[in-house]
Amino acid sequence: MEDKGEVKCIKFSFGNKILAVQRTPKAVDFINFIPDLPQTEYSQECKTKNANILSFCWISTNEIVFITDQGVEFYQVLPDKRTLKLLKNQSINVNWCMYSPETAVLLLSTTVHGNVLQPFYFRSGTMSKMPKFEIELPASPKSGNLCLSDIIMATIYGQLYVLYLKHQPRTPNNPGAEVILYYLPRDGQCKKLHILKLNTTGKFALNVVDNLVVVHHQSSQTSMIFDIKLRAEFDGAVTIHHQVLPSLSIHPCKIPRAGPSAVTTQSPVPCELYSSSWTVFQPDIIINASEGYLWCLQIKLQPIVHMLQDKGRLMDFLLQRKDCKMVILSVCCQMLSTAERGSLPVIATIFDKLNQVYKEYLEAEQNYALAMESGTSRSSSTQKRPVRTQAVIDQSDMYTHVLSVFTEKKHYLYELVIKTLVQHSLFYMLHQFLQYHVLSDSKPLACLLLSLESTYPPAHQLSLDMLKRLSTANDEIVEVLLSKHQVLGALRFVRSVGSHDNISARKFLDAARQTGDTMLFYTTFKFFEQRNQRLRGSSHFTPGEHCEEHVSHFKTLFGEQALLTPMAV
């Protein structure tokens, strides 16, 4: 570029096709960067007499607006003709301006105190005047005029807001500075909807990251995070919000040492955070002018999981974030891993929230499909396919990242289900789950059922039935029956499975004797006498079976003549 003096402002058009350069208060110069067009500069002076250009904004690839201290001039740039065509001119006294390229809304400050704001909306070569509105200045006489540094425009949850940083001293009745959010609809009057309480005073700067308002406080070197979607206090007119988390500092970072290449091999140095030389741009940009660095601010979600104790509020917060899926799934996994009886309602609430988001997405998909099937041009042009955000978590996500983790711990999940059903007296449902094998048979599960017998007596039989189905739990079945003093039932079972020749006689005789039922002891003793006779040709017990005390007890009860006589070999 030819040196024609100090550059006050320089901006490329969309697509970097045309470069606009302001060097004087009266005109803007243009240079084409389009193939086959000359790069010779051409210039456009503002039309209003005695006006000075405060700023200019590209509206599209070839549309630009000049903002002067006396009004707005909307131009079409004709690069092939190297000239500009005035589309519309609006006279208005202007103190300062700001532009939101995302929504194509220009905001002008008017009146002496600068607190009356006039928005304009640009679309398809047209400029429309929106209703003006007034910002409430602090009651303090020292407040002065409304400055550009007190205002930002930002899109939050798809809606355009004007954020006003209201400075006021801390008093017993006033907690200090606050950020007031004015909702700026395209049609209709601007409305004051939200107030963010900062509870401190000092120098602040604002960013909007992932639909969160981040307020930087220089003196404490911390930042506050606000989410206008979370539940908050409504006073009948506006919603009053407090920060989601305690004030936090931006994560430290290091930058290379400045100087010759030989010096840059040294280790990087910590960057000064919350520096007085910082300049903040919307939505998420921080520039350190003295160091020559630019950053984009991001929110780290995973640490927040451990900071918000209210899991329902945590889930409301996470569901609104852009990169939330894996963090949400990790929360679900962690809650199920440490689930206790008191946490079940919380888990249910979280799953309800996830299901609601999934349901809304499915309904939107269905409505879109129906609109496409109708084939009407009107519905096709207005209906947009719903975007599947990371907050949409379906059954596959939940199984892959949460439930499958417990594949080797199925007993844990089944235990959770069974205990919950019993606690709520849903015994019929428990029977159904077992009958239709919703709960897979296992030895640990059978033992759990057995432990619930005092609460639900049929659980004992359910346990035995499960062990029987397993075919590998014969020893466990015998133990269960003996523990319930069902000695004859245990004997019948071992005979039914063909293992009666290998069982321990002493174990059964111990159980029979403990019942105090002499006839049961007699029957059990005779069972094993007959087994001994059949297997060894003698009714006597071998020394290795350690049944001497039971033989003595039998003689005491029934006499020695009651013993079987050994058969001759």
Confidence check: pLDDT of 568 > 50? no
Beta strands in 198-308 (DSSP E): 204-209, 212-217, 222-226, 233-234, 239-241, 254-255, 269-270, 278-281, 285-288, 293-296
Q: pTM for the full model?
A: 0.72
Q: What percent of the chain has pLDDT over 90?
A: 41
CA angle 41, 45, 47 (to 5 degrees): 150
One-letter amino acid identity for 261?
S
113-117, 195-199, 233-237, 266-270: range with lowest mean pLDDT: 266-270
Nearest CA among 462, 512, 464 for reference residue 487: 512
Higher pLDDT, 262 or 328: 328
Nearest CA among 158, 159, 150 for reference residue 177: 150
Kind of pairing, strands 191-197 and 239-241?
parallel
Confidence check: pLDDT of 265 > 70? no
pLDDT per position as a tens digit, 80-119: 899 999 999 999 999 999 999 999 999 999 988 888 999 9
CA angle 145, 146, 152 (to 5 degrees): 165
Confidence check: pLDDT of 499 > 80? no
d(CA 287, CA 285): 7
Q: What is the mean pLDDT of residues 464-468?
A: 79
The neighbour count for residue 268, using CB atoms within 10 Å, is: 11
pLDDT per position as a tens digit, 343-391: 778 888 999 999 999 999 999 999 888 888 877 545 445 678 888 999 9
Nearest CA among 199, 67, 51 for reference residue 120: 67
Q: Is 69 exposed, middle or buried (0-12, 13-18, 19+ CB in 10 A)?
A: middle
CATH class of 1-94: mainly beta
